[in-house]
Structure 1
Amino acid sequence: MSIDRLNLYFFNILNAPDQASSFMMHYAIFIAHDLIYVMLLIFAVLWLRGDYQIKKQILKAFIFTCITLSISEMASAFFNTPRPFVMDVGRTLIEHSATGSFPSNHMAIFSSIAFAYYFSEQRQIGKFLIILAWLVAWSRVYVGVHFPVDMIGAFLLAFAVNASGQSLWNKYKEQLMAWVMAVYQKLLHPLIEKGLIK
């Protein structure tokens, strides 16, 4: 069986069936579309209220995710593979522009954050976030905006970026953190002084 046929086979298994319950559809839509905003809010709060080590880990995740997402965007434009709804395949539960499907930007973001934690002292958090990334992968296929291969590609890309960049991060993390904290403290000094943020 070719990769394309295997990809379509697993898409048909994972995509929302005609008899899907309202609960499952709303659950998948939340994971596929809204969970990323919840994650951003959590990381914003952790940055503003967390200590130095928490901030450093968030900075690492931010940098590696930006790199991964940039590569993902370029790959998506280069390959320009059609999404399922463009091919009139399966059910589509959310609206999405007909941009390139491979690799998935959502999966690239969640996977890169996960690997940033996995390749650190906080490996247990990384393991949990990897599971969360695959939950997002399932949901994006379930709602009909991606194929399974889009998720695998994004996951492998995030792994490659994090694994290859780890030594550079270890070498320059303290300098990067010092610069970022200097800017942060200068911009938000009044709020830090009042103890509203750290």
Structure 2
Amino acid sequence: MSLDSLNLYLFNILNAPDQASSFMVHYAVFAAHDLIYLTLLIFAVLWLRGGYQVKKQILKAFVFTCITLAISEILSAVLHTPRPFVMDVGQTLIQHEPTGSFPSNHMTIFSSIAFAYYFSEQRQIGKFLIAVAWLVAWARVYVGVHFPIDMFGAFLLAFIVNASGLTLWNTYKEQLMKWVLFLYEKLFHSLIQKGFIK
């Protein structure tokens, strides 16, 4: 079986069936579309209320995610592989622009955050976030806006960037934190002083 055939075969298995239940549709749409906003909100609250180590880990996730997402955007623009609905394949449950399908930006973001934690002292959180990333991967295929190969590509890209960037991060993380916290404390000095944020 060729890679294209395997990709289409897996898509047909994972994509929403004709008689999908209302619960499954809403669950998949939440995971595919809305979970990213909830995740960003959680990290924003953790940054504002967390201590030095919490902030440093969030900064690491942010840096690695930005790098990985930039590479993902370039690959998507260059390769411009069609999405399932462009090929008139399967069911599509949410609206999406016909941008390049490979790799998935959603999977890139969730995988990058997950690996940032996995390659740290907080590996257990990383494992949990990897599971969340694959939940999002399933959901994006289920709602018909991505193929499975888009997810594997994003996951692999996030792994490579995080693994290869560890040495640089460990070398410069304290200096980077110093700069970021200096700017953060300047911008939010009054709120920090009043104890609303840390």
* Fold shared per TM-score above 0.5: yes
Deviation at 1:129, TM superposition (A): 0.1
Deviation at 1:139, TM superposition (A): 0.1
Name the structure 1 match of 2:125.
125
Distance 1:51 1:160 in 2: 29
Equivalent runs, 1:174-185 vs 2, <5 Å: 174-185=174-185
Distance 2:64 2:165 in 1: 8
Unaligned runs of at least 5 residues, structure 2: none
Name the structure 1 match of 2:35.
35
Distance 1:98 1:46 in 2: 34
Equivalent runs, 1:24-173 vs 2, <5 Å: 24-173=24-173
Alignment: residue pair count: 198
Aligned CA RMSD, in angstroms, stands at 0.2
Distance 1:101 1:27 in 2: 22
Write the deviation string for residues 141-188 of structure 1: whole angstroms up to 9, x where unpaired. 000000000000000000000000000000000000000000000010
Distance 2:127 2:84 in 1: 30
Secondary structure of residue in 2 paired with 1:98: coil
Distance 2:133 2:98 in 1: 23
TM-score if structure 2 supplies the norm length?
1.00
Letter in 1 for 2:26: H
TM-score if structure 1 supplies the norm length?
1.00
Secondary structure of residue in 1 paired with 2:165: helix
State the identity as a percent. 80
Distance 1:98 1:19 in 2: 25
Deviation at 1:19, TM superposition (A): 1.0
